[in-house]
A = this chain, B = another copy of it.
Amino acid sequence: MINIAIMGYGTVGSGVVEVIGRNQDVISQRAGDKINVKYVLDLRDFPGDPIQEKIVHDVDVIINDPEIQIVVEVMGGVEPAYTFVKRCLEAGKSVATSNKALVAKHGAELLSIAREREINFLFEASVGGGIPIIRALNSSLTADRIEEITGILNGTTNYMLTKMFYEGAQYDEVLKEAQDNGFAERNPEADVEGYDACRKIAILSSLISGQQVDFEDIYTEGITKITKEDMIYAKKMGMTIKLLASSKRDGDHLHAIVAPALLGSEHPLYNVNGVFNAVFVNGNMLGDAMFYGSGAGKLPTASAVVADVVDEAKHLHRNIMTMWKNEKLELLPIEDTQKRFFVRISGDEDMRREETEAAFGSVTFVNVEGLENEFGIMTEKMTEGSYRKIAEKFDGILHMIRIEE
């Protein structure tokens, strides 16, 4: 029997208890031993809940119990999770976590402690919920140099953009509806401003480079400025708009960005709708691959956490995670990235055609019925720096959205 402790009895924590309970037989078989939840750490009590007898309020009970070999951290937030996890690892206990904030900030250090102790720090559920992208990078795509990883990593914003695309709704309406349905929080900032996706792509960028990528360095733009009108243009061009978190290799460096992007219908991420997440990967040998699934939700996330527990149970005294060094990777400045831009411009197209081409060079004009006194253009490929220089001096730019290709 392998005894584990769960730190945090919120949505994911109770999901972990449920998954272990319901799939006990297959889990024991795969782990090679029965997994027993011995403690659940929470500040609260849960009278009447079957786990009440396992509730402890003091983390030292867990850390000092030599019977506990694996600890699940599903409290969220950097502190006290960081202190607790570090102490568990130092006490020789493997840790599985779903906590993206913790992993983005302290992943390199916690991995190195686990490596020294020949135990494991795993975090499959921290990116893409139930999508097994981290284990894929760590143990499946090992023959490849990963050239690109681009994901739809936030279910809330994808749900909202899907609604805007298919129903022609405005941002404020869909946000309210998402909040009413429980798909968005009352304070939606972490989702709609792209902060959540940013931490996740920071983790993936660190894994594909083997170095520390600080999330603070990643250019991040949310979806709060995306309008119904933008979606009308997107449809006209045979595209959709998604919040993409992306990391692309350029020599030994990476370009990383979180921003809404226009996506053509042939792109594997085009059809990822609703609360689903997906991660597109390009390897220099493998070519294109994509992983799709539930990016959040109690049971899918808990399923990923428990899969990490199973892996840790199978590797109790053997470190299995590829290294992610503490050494910081400098990202390339966003000004140097090359792409095409879609720009909405106010005024009459015929009147401004010459001026627009003089400024942006060769462009494709886009018009949609019902949107008067404005027009759209798609530029040729140029650096973001060049675009910014032009845009600074050009009157009447209503909105710019990058085009993903």
Query: Chain A: residues with CB nearer than 8 A to chain B?
Result: 19-20, 22-23, 26-27, 29-31, 124, 130-132, 135-136, 139-145, 210, 268, 270-271, 276, 283-294, 297, 299-300, 302-307, 309-311, 314, 318, 320, 322
With contact pairs A22-B284, A23-B284, A287-B293 given, residues A303 and B144 touching in the complex (Cβ less than 8 Å): yes
Asked if A23 meets B285 with Cβ closer than 8 Å, knowing A135-B139, A135-B140, the reply is yes
A339→B293 CA distance, assembly (Å): 25
Q: List 9 A-B contacts (CB under 8 A).
A: A124-B140, A132-B289, A135-B139, A141-B303, A143-B305, A143-B310, A276-B288, A286-B303, A288-B293
Are A130 and B310 in touch, CB under 8 angstroms?
no
Q: Knowing A30-B322, A292-B268, A292-B292 are in contact, say whether A287-B143 is a contact too (CB < 8 A).
A: no
A167 to B145, CA, bound (A): 36
Chain B CB within 10 A, most for which of A131, A142, A143? A143
Query: CB distance B142 to A307 under 8 Å?
Result: yes
Closest 10 CB pairs of A and B: A132-B140, A143-B306, A289-B293, A285-B303, A290-B292, A142-B310, A30-B142, A286-B303, A130-B286, A285-B299
A285 with B300, Cβ < 8 A, contacts A26-B145, A132-B141, A322-B30 known: yes
Q: CA–CA, A287 to B311, complex, Å?
A: 20
Whether B136 and A136, one on each chain, are in contact in the complex, defined by CB atoms closer than 8 angstroms, is: yes
